[in-house]
Amino acid sequence: MVRQEVLHQRLEKLVEYQRILKDIQKYKVKEFVENPLLHGSAELPPPEY
Task: Give the residue extent of every domain in the chain.
Answer: 4-42
Confidence at residue 14, expressed as pLDDT on a 0 to 100 scale: 93
Q: Per residue in 1-49, pLDDT tens?
A: 879 999 999 999 999 989 988 988 898 888 877 887 776 766 656 556 5
**CA nearest 41: which of 16, 26, 24, 22?**
24
pLDDT number for residue 20: 84
Per-residue pLDDT at 45: 61
Decide: 44 and 17 in contact? Cβ < 8 Å.
Answer: yes
